Structure 1
Amino acid sequence: MISEKDLPKYVPVEFAEPDFPGVNGSASGFVTLPDPLVKSFDTPPGSGGSYTAMTPLWGTIPPTNGNQYFDAVNEAIGTDIKFQISDGNTYGDKLAAVLASPKDVADWVSIPGWNVPPRFGQAVDSVFEDLTPHLSGDLVEEYPFLANIPTEAWKSCSWNGKLYGLPFPQDVGVSNYTFYRPDLLPDAELPTNADEVIEFAQAQTKDGLYGSTDLWATATTMFGVPEKWKVGDDGKLVHKVETPEYRAALEWHTKLYASGAVHPDAVADNGGDGGQRFEGGQIALLSTGVGYWHEATTRNRGSNPDWTMAPLPVVAADGGDPVLYKAPGAAICSYLKKSDDDGAIKELLEAANFLAAPFGTEEFQLVNYGVEGLHYNFDAAGTTVPTALAQTEVQPSYIFLVDPPVVNAKVALPDYVAASSEWTARNSEFLIEPPFYGMNITEPNRFASLSQPFDDLEKDIVRGRKSMDDLDKAIDTWRTSGGDDLREFYQKILDENPGLAGS
């Protein structure tokens, strides 16, 4: 576990006053783009070096040669970053192949948390640069925009007590919950506990319409199910499937399915067009990622200015305050290839500092939207409107190397900014750190698929194909098939790190 003294010192900077200040780490909200934007760099910080960067992309890969967006950002940095972009859906396989041959590793490599290769913790020091001597403590102040990144994000990029990665920060709050349509149900009395959620879904199930899709993610949130481990009153670790919270969430979800309110596609374990049906008013409750809120609102407002969606209030199953577990501070970390050239490492860190320029700066605008007049224009409301060229050239790329703190700045939808900022701010009051928060732990390979049977079992139980007795049998099998050994593996780490998050 990395010590506090080895983490970069947090020195926040702000170039624009938020309309909705963040609370306990939630993202600040902005309903307008600052005018004028602040120019943070009088001259390019780079030294003219040229480096390769490997990143994922979930979309159409842009041309890397003759791309005016890449050319403009590289010129502003003063460093030539040549991208090697791969399909995000198969990026994990590409990473594993590249890291198996260190000579093929790019100078700067983006690694999503869900694509970290097996045994990465044992190999990271031989392939990537230890950034602790460059960024720990006060040293990070040489790079003020890196110092502006919250401490939690840096923890996600540490291994074996050292700092190796540069973070892509993410919101640490609720990432998946249940939404409804206030425009279609303006007088709805919203549920205030788990039982009322079922009643609400049943009340909307009529005339060929259905109350909900699958709500398992919401069930685990309402009942406070830990992501993996919980520390018992005796200081010993309890796996989530052994907790009363997990059992209660599964029993509640089974009741929801038995109520007849769940759409047949979900019952058949086929997500189908749940989002499309929700947007069309055929499903009252949709469980989905919080990012969908903005995407769907943007998609529908053009044809229907009154179209609105909103999340249900986050409550505990009994109607009290929820127990919400913090997500990792960074979803993705990038790593610099190990080098004896200190000048090259410093130049890449200067480039990272540029890319971490926060909202309200010209540099943020350039990295995220390209060149004004070429890749975007401003409309009468001050909203950034992409050009046709932007659709081809400006794809997420630099942000996967490093990114500034998360902000809620969807200025084209001020009502969305207000509602989502207030919702996340309220939720942040109930966030707690789970055990091992901020630690990257490489489990032995023999435990890789240990919990997989529970994914199928959850589906079978809620659909009535299996019972809670089957859950008890599965837990016994889990314990004897390696679960108790895995517990011992983590308990040793817990005992060796007094005061560890969540303990």
Structure 2
Amino acid sequence: MTTSGTTQHLRGRVRRRRTATALLAAGATAALAACGGGGPAPAAQDASSAGLVAGDQLPTYTAIDLVEPDFPGVDGSTPGFLSVPDPLVQAFDEPPGAGGSYTAMTPLWGTIPPTEGNAYFDAVNAAMGTDITFQISDGNTYGDKLAAVLASPDDLADWVTIPSWNVPPRFGQAVETIFQDLAPYLAGDAVEDYPYLANIPTEAWQACAWNGRLYGLPFPQELGVTDYAFYRSDLLPDAQMPTTADEMIDFVEENTKDGHWGTNDLWTTATVMFGVPPEWVVGDDGTLVHRVETPQYRAALEWMAELYASGAVHPDAVADNQGDAAQRFESGQVLVNSGGVGWWHEALTRNRAVDPSFDMRPFPVIAADGGTPTVYKSRGAAMCSYLKKADDATITELLGAANFLASPFGTAEYQLINYGVEGTHYTLDEAGLPVPTAQAQTEVQPSYIFLVDPPVVNAKVSLPDYVEAFSEWTATNAAYVVEPPFYGMNITEPAQFASLDTPFVDLEKSIARGRADLSDLDAAVETWRSSGGEELRAFYQEIYDAQQEGGASGTDAGTDSGTDAGTDSGTDSGTDSGTDSGTDES
């Protein structure tokens, strides 16, 4: 119900596959190409700087620390708070807006609230001094919706959110034609006019930069593991935690009994345990190796086949019915489930309202062989929002609204954006914690947060046990984080490679379920190579080599190493179902 729970769930998206909808592959692709100049993006885009954004194009980072966390972040992990400041800091003495009215297009993985007569929207708009009318679409089909509206830019909303897994083909070309270059307003010290935007870490801004310029406003996401296996700790209070991948299978086998199934699908967890890279890794000889060619990917698929063969996977998961995975877990039918970290809080809130003893915890992050895990650093932002090209007064007012929406935890504005109006959408309990009202259930849904959001914090103060467990878990995992090649870079990848990885989505499912075997993987990899994979490797190799020779690390600037062409090998669409985002479809 509240915005912050779904916030963390969306930060739990992990890169896994390229997604290119049929609609994008048809008319929308052509339209975007027309907007941004047709033809494939040339490798000659200066390989030494392709995808990099100069530091002077990004806002100067200036941290704002209003509240001391109870659990400080470690090496970039999320800080945790056990209480709400009293009194709250008033970030704005008066509404910053000029009274303009604008439209905003955002996704939602939940019940779409009414836009008319909504006291929550009215209150936030009044506090901003800027009226935002939302065009909210189902997050599960948001990619299709984006394709349709981007094909007709004249009908585009003034402010558009694009999740990293929904970036359309040739967006790197079209962005310059459709959306506003924000560097003149925010780059360097210019961001001083918007101090709460300056408080957002640089890595989040990097994820919103294209062609060396800043175009987007970030929705920052968690560092490290954002989607992993959870178990019902209330039903398994004495569980011995697995330390290897084999022990994980033993765990779910042993708990397939007494009317319970051991697990739903665990593909996302498998990719973490086996250290499967998000896209490219660098071989010992300096040659780039694609994830589907790595021994880690092969081993993860082999393990998945063993998992399904064990009989511990719920029949509905075997049938690829992932939409009800969270419900099966929360009802106790299944004792293990992969899901985004934000689902953790949402499930606790939802279930403890009727069963205070309900509990769930993530397994410790492990390496398949029991050694040290490798966790590939996630993008600095899970999604970015873009402002349609407009006059200076419009852009300035919308950036003022963005600065308001970036008000950090500890401010009255943050409380309003995340919980609504006191007395209408929440009351305060004896400890001063917000308790949602019935009206909040229909009116307060994630919306403004998808336009821009402050730095990530864990401030689920009504669940102190969760805050402590979450903070400790993420702090431990921070030690395992490494940056993949091309980190922090949006590279305009030639459009002909947009769907090159698509066959592996179904193949992963088929191998897991025994409908295919590793010989089919070998054949698929050879087809990948001959159908454009070698050309794609050469494209990235040129960029990597040029940047290494030029002194650029290639790691200071997207986990998403080939993100144009809609290639955030993302996962499911961000639904708060808590399903394993590695296998279900959006």
Q: Does the 8 Å contact 1:179/1:312 carry over to 2?
A: yes
Deviation at 1:273, TM superposition (A): 4.0
Q: Distance in 2 between matches of 1:47 and 1:384?
A: 31
Provide the residue aligned with 2:48 in structure 1: none
Cα distance per residue 1:175-217 (max 9 Å; x no partner) = 2111112222222221111121122222223344332222211
Provide the residue aligned with 2:61 in structure 1: 10
Provide the residue aligned with 1:247 in structure 2: 298
Find out whether 1:300 has 2:351 as its counterpart: yes
Q: 1:67 to 1:209 in 2, by over 3 A?
A: closer
Provide the residue aligned with 2:400 in structure 1: 350
Deviates more, 1:357-366 or 1:387-396: 387-396
Q: Does the 8 Å contact 1:265/1:272 carry over to 2?
A: no
Match of 1:225 among 276, 281, 284: 276
Q: 1:372 to 1:493 in 2, by over 3 A?
A: same
Secondary structure, counterpart of 1:347 in structure 2: helix
Q: Tell me which amino acid in the other structure corresponds to 2:513.
A: R
Q: Distance in 1 between matches of 2:262 and 2:418?
A: 38
Q: Distance in 1 between matches of 2:436 and 2:531?
A: 54
Cα distance per residue 1:389-446 (max 9 Å; x no partner) = 3233322221111111111111111101110111011111211111222112333332
Structure 1 residues 12-91: aligned runs within 5 Å: 12-91=63-142
Q: Distance in 1 between matches of 2:121 and 2:512?
A: 50
Secondary structure, counterpart of 1:407 in structure 2: coil
Q: Distance in 2 between matches of 1:258 and 1:58?
A: 33
Cα distance per residue 1:33-81 (max 9 Å; x no partner) = 1111000111222223332222223333333333332222222222222
The RMSD of aligned alpha carbons is 1.9
Q: 1:204 to 1:66 in 2, by over 3 A?
A: closer
Structure 1 residues 152-163: aligned runs within 5 Å: 152-163=203-214
Q: Tell me which amino acid in the other structure corresponds to 2:464.
A: P
Find out whether 1:483 has 2:533 as its counterpart: yes
Q: 1:379 to 1:228 in 2, by over 3 A?
A: same
Secondary structure, counterpart of 1:28 in structure 2: coil
Q: Tell me which amino acid in the other structure corresponds to 1:456.
A: D
TM-score, structure 2 as length reference: 0.82
Structure 1 residues 139-154: aligned runs within 5 Å: 139-154=190-205
Provide the residue aligned with 2:43 in structure 1: none
Match of 2:309 among 233, 236, 258: 258
Match of 2:439 among 389, 395, 402: 389
Q: Does the 8 Å contact 1:118/1:442 carry over to 2?
A: no
Q: Distance in 2 between matches of 1:278 and 1:80?
A: 41
**Runs of 5+ in structure 2 lacking a partner?**
1-51, 562-586
Higher RCO structure, 1 or 2 (CA under 8 Å, sep 6+): 2
Provide the residue aligned with 1:102 in structure 2: 153
Match of 1:442 among 481, 492, 497: 492
Secondary structure, counterpart of 1:408 in structure 2: coil
Q: 1:278 to 1:165 in 2, by over 3 A?
A: same
Find out whether 1:467 has 2:517 as its counterpart: yes
Find out whether 1:369 has 2:369 as its counterpart: no
Q: 1:18 to 1:229 in 2, by over 3 A?
A: same
Q: Distance in 2 between matches of 1:215 and 1:89?
A: 20
Q: Does the 8 Å contact 2:78/2:223 carry over to 1?
A: no
Provide the residue aligned with 1:416 in structure 2: 466
TM-score, structure 1 as length reference: 0.95
Q: 1:193 to 1:75 in 2, by over 3 A?
A: same
Q: Does the 8 Å contact 2:265/2:313 carry over to 1?
A: yes
Find out whether 1:122 has 2:169 as its counterpart: no
Find out whether 1:134 has 2:185 as its counterpart: yes
Q: 1:212 to 1:119 in 2, by over 3 A?
A: same
Match of 1:327 among 364, 378, 387: 378
Q: Tell me which amino acid in the other structure corresponds to 1:80.
A: D
Q: Distance in 2 between matches of 1:265 and 1:81?
A: 41
Provide the residue aligned with 2:482 in structure 1: 432
Q: Tell me which amino acid in the other structure corresponds to 1:7.
A: L
Find out whether 1:285 has 2:336 as its counterpart: yes
Q: Does the 8 Å contact 2:99/2:129 carry over to 1?
A: yes
Secondary structure, counterpart of 2:335 in structure 1: strand
Q: Does the 8 Å contact 2:253/2:262 carry over to 1?
A: yes
Secondary structure, counterpart of 1:283 in structure 2: coil
Deviates more, 1:82-91 or 1:192-201: 82-91
Q: Distance in 1 between matches of 2:119 and 2:355?
A: 35
Q: 1:63 to 1:197 in 2, by over 3 A?
A: closer
Cα distance per residue 1:465-498 (max 9 Å; x no partner) = 3222221111111111111111112222223333
Secondary structure, counterpart of 1:189 in structure 2: coil
Provide the residue aligned with 1:215 in structure 2: 266
Q: Tell me which amino acid in the other structure corresponds to 2:193.
A: E
Deviation at 1:295, TM superposition (A): 1.8
Match of 1:500 among 544, 551, 554: 554
Deviation at 1:219, TM superposition (A): 1.1
Q: Distance in 2 between matches of 1:213 and 1:69?
A: 37
Alignment: residue pair count: 502
Q: 1:271 to 1:97 in 2, by over 3 A?
A: closer
Q: Distance in 1 between matches of 2:239 and 2:110?
A: 38
Greater gyration radius: 1
Provide the residue aligned with 1:170 in structure 2: 221
Q: 1:193 to 1:436 in 2, by over 3 A?
A: same
Deviates more, 1:243-252 or 1:208-217: 208-217
Secondary structure, counterpart of 2:262 in structure 1: strand
Deviates more, 1:387-396 or 1:486-495: 387-396
Identical positions, percent: 69
Deviation at 1:324, TM superposition (A): 0.2
Q: Distance in 1 between matches of 2:439 and 2:299?
A: 52
Q: Distance in 2 between matches of 1:463 and 1:93?
A: 29
Q: 1:64 to 1:274 in 2, by over 3 A?
A: closer
Q: Tell me which amino acid in the other structure corresponds to 2:150.
A: L
Q: Does the 8 Å contact 2:377/2:482 carry over to 1?
A: yes
